Amino acid sequence: MSDGYHHGNLRRALLDAAVAVIAESGPSSVSLRDLARRVGVSHAAPAHHFGDRPGLLTALAVEGFCLLTTALRQAAPRGFDEVAVAYVRFARRHRAHYAVMHRLDLAHATDPDLLAARAEASRQLAEGVQSLPHERRRFVTVAEGGYAAWALVHGLASLAAEGAIPAGDLEELTLRAARQLFG
């Protein structure tokens, strides 16, 4: 075993190892000691980057929100329906990140980077709603529409992650639901 100071990019390696652990057995099974073993560093090395387990999961959640924001921003020129699909597609492609992004019990819930990353993703989703023609946003403010959109896509993504709806139908279901919700 080497010490953490001789590892190339220890922070990235630990985050990647955490993604693998979460994919295997869920976020509650992540331990800094196990991650250190997986990447071949001393058991104390992860603390230099994250402080503690919630710190590592906070960093993973921040990364997830940044990836989500990018996906939503890239879909925005194609309209809100595609933004909605981008959200559920993100949740399916980045399951480990998605599994910790809304689990404030596992992270440092008041971390400024986490709060900023979550707010930016939420803003991007609300901008998707704002881009809808007014007749599709009838009787809702942009803020209300943003919450409704978030509830829709988060609910569908979470149900698919839990196996309650078939993942193969998720994108088409999301398109239909977005069109139904917003006229």
Same domain membership, residue 59 and residue 15: no
**Whole-number pLDDT of residue 142:** 77
- Residues 64, 132, single domain; the answer is yes
Q: Domain range holding 32?
A: 4-51
Residue given tokens 């709603």 in the structure block: 129
CA distance 30 to 27: 6
Same domain? For 117 and 161 the reply is yes
Q: Are residues 23 and 40 in the same domain?
A: yes
In a shared domain, residues 110 and 142 = yes
* Helix (H), strand (E) at residue 97: helix 95-101
Same domain assignment for residues 46 and 103: no
Give the per-residue pLDDT at 109.
95
For 104-140, how does the pLDDT look when each residue is reduced to its tens digit (9 = 90+)? 899 999 999 999 999 999 999 988 888 888 777 766 7
Give the pTM.
Answer: 0.90
Which tokens hold the place of 121?
Answer: 């993703």
- CATH (domain of 28): 1.10.10
Q: Does residue 38 share a domain with residue 103?
A: no
How far apart (Å, rounded) are the C-alpha atoms in residues 71 and 67? 6
Clarify whether residues 62 and 25 are in a common domain: no
Say if residue 23 is in the same domain as residue 110: no
DSSP for 26-89? Answer: -GGG--HHHHHHHHTS-TTHHHHHHSSHHHHHHHHHHHHHHHHHHHHHHHGGG-HHHHHHHHHH
Low-confidence ranges of the chain (pLDDT < 70): 1-7, 138-139, 183
Clarify whether residues 19 and 78 are in a common domain: no
- Work out how many domains the chain is built from and give that number: 2
Both ends of the chain: CA-CA distance in Å? 59
Model pLDDT, residue 4: 42
